[in-house]
């Protein structure tokens, strides 16, 4: 029987052969290899997952619906008064299934002083499309939370669905998450107003309209005024040529309406306007299916710019309208 000794210093491969001897070391490697191979085979045979388990793996195709909604922290803005604005969005992995989670134990923000601005209506990419899309994407900058100057703690948004809790912290401790504009080619969020000469909002924090009232099943007219005052450099020819249809006009602004919170359905007509002008107005009608308190969000974006897209975290502005609906 071979006696084994512990070497005084770490050994390289050549030192291992000198210390243990060629035959002994090769025998040990062979035994180890057989044990390793046997263990792998046993694991494959004993622990082989079922077809159902394999379909749940990350690389397996996802089903179209029945999936989770999760919150996302998109970044933070430094304000001129020293306060910090934290931007949040969400991801609905479903292709067509709308998920609603009321504010409460399943949809909350902590500390509680910042709770209540988050959406309760989580729309997937294909909720309004005639055919379900094949691509999932996030909804960025849906709402913001502004914290006082010097606030360094986390603001945590949590959603409970699919028997799990999904939470995301937002803070300004990491400069990599700082957002700002104008962008590289000059794009910045458009100005949005709820009256021709009223106060304007810019960016995800946007602006709030005066509360209004409506009745169930009676169309309510909603209008926003916009102005994209970006000063852009000319778009490079190479970028224009890479488009699917280089000659197709690109909208200067797109205005889209969303239900943010509320107990019933809201139908917008139209729900999206693609506008050729950088300044003007856009109008929709909203029809409410149930009485209650609603918050409508409108988003004006200039994603037609080469440096403007949701993935760039710029450039759009939110507007919010509180509507009390009676029967």
pLDDT reading at 119 higher than 50: yes
CB 158 within 8 A of CB 167: yes
pLDDT reading at 324 higher than 90: yes
Q: Tens digit of pLDDT for each residue in 262-285? A: 999 999 999 999 999 999 999 999
Q: Please tell me the predicted confidence (pLDDT) of residue 56.
A: 56
Q: Please tell me the predicted confidence (pLDDT) of residue 270.
A: 95
Q: What is the mean pLDDT of residues 94-116?
A: 96
Q: What is the mean pLDDT of the chain?
A: 83
CB 290 within 8 A of CB 264: yes
Own/partner pairs for 22-27, CB < 8 Å, 24+ apart? none
Least confident of 27-41, 84-98, 151-165, 296-310: 27-41
Q: Please tell me the predicted confidence (pLDDT) of residue 189.
A: 96
Q: Please tell me the predicted confidence (pLDDT) of residue 240.
A: 54
Task: Identify the architecture of domain 181-327 in CATH.
Answer: Sandwich (2.60)
User: Model pTM greater than 0.85?
Assistant: no
Q: Tens digit of pLDDT for each residue in 196-224? A: 999 999 999 999 999 999 999 999 999 99
Helices 22-46 + 13-20 axis angle, to 10: 110
Task: With cut-offs at 50, 70 and 90, classify the pLDDT of residue 237.
Answer: low
Q: Please tell me the predicted confidence (pLDDT) of residue 37.
A: 45
Q: Please tell me the predicted confidence (pLDDT) of residue 312.
A: 83
Q: Please tell me the predicted confidence (pLDDT) of residue 137.
A: 76
Sequence spans of domains, the chain: 13-48, 62-178, 181-327
Q: Please tell me the predicted confidence (pLDDT) of residue 49.
A: 46
> What sections of the chain are H helices per DSSP?
13-20, 22-46, 51-55, 237-241
pLDDT reading at 238 higher than 60: no
Task: With cut-offs at 50, 70 and 90, classify the pLDDT of residue 287.
Answer: very high
Tell me, yes or no, if the two domains 62-178 and 181-327 fold the same way: yes
Q: Please tell me the predicted confidence (pLDDT) of residue 27.
A: 47
Residue 20 three-state SS: helix
Q: Read off φ and ψ for residue 7, nearest 5 degrees.
A: -65, 150
Q: Please tell me the predicted confidence (pLDDT) of residue 98.
A: 93
Q: Please tell me the predicted confidence (pLDDT) of residue 263.
A: 97
pLDDT reading at 134 higher than 70: no
CATH class given for the domain over 62-178: mainly beta
In sequence order, the β-bridge partners of residue 136 are none
Q: What is the mean pLDDT of residues 172-194?
A: 93
Maximum mean pLDDT: which of 14-18, 83-87, 234-238, 306-310: 83-87
Query: Each residue of 150-183: b (16+ CB within 10 Å) or e?
Result: eeeeebbbbbbbeeeebebebbbeeeebebebbb
């Amino acid at each position: 029987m071979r006696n084994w000794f512990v070497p005084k210093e770490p050994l390289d491969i050549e030192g291992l052969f000198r210390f243990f001897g060629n035959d002994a070391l090769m025998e040990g490697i062979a035994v180890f290899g057989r044990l390793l191979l046997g263990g792998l085979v046993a694991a494959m045979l004993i622990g082989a997952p079922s077809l159902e388990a394999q379909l749940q793996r990350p690389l397996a195709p996802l089903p179209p619906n029945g999936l989770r909604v999760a919150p996302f922290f998109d970044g933070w803005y430094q304000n001129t008064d020293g306060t910090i604005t934290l931007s949040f969005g969400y991801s609905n992995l479903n292709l067509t299934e709308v998920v609603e989670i009321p504010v409460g134990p399943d949809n909350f923000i902590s500390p509680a002083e910042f709770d209540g601005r988050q959406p309760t209506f989580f729309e997937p990419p294909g909720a309004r499309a005639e055919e379900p899309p094949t691509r999932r994407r996030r909804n960025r900058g849906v709402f913001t939370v502004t914290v006082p100057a010097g606030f360094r703690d986390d603001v945590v948004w949590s959603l409970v669905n699919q028997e799990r809790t999904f939470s995301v912290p937002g803070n300004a401790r990491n400069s990599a998450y700082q957002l700002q504009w104008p962008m590289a080619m000059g794009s910045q969020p458009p100005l949005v107003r709820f009256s021709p000469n009223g106060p304007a909002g810019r960016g995800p924090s946007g602006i709030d309209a005066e509360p209004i009232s409506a009745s169930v099943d009676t169309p309510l007219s909603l209008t926003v005024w916009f102005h994209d005052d970006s000063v852009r450099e000319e778009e490079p020819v190479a970028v224009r040529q890479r488009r699917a249809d280089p000659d197709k006009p690109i909208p200067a602004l797109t205005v889209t309406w969303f239900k943010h919170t509320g107990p019933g359905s809201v139908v917008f007509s139209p729900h999206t306007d693609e506008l050729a002008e950088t300044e003007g107005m856009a109008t929709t009608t909203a029809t409410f299916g149930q009485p209650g308190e609603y918050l409508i969000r409108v988003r004006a974006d200039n994603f037609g710019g080469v440096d403007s897209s949701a993935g760039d975290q710029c450039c759009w502005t939110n507007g919010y309208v509180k509507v009390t609906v009676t029967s």
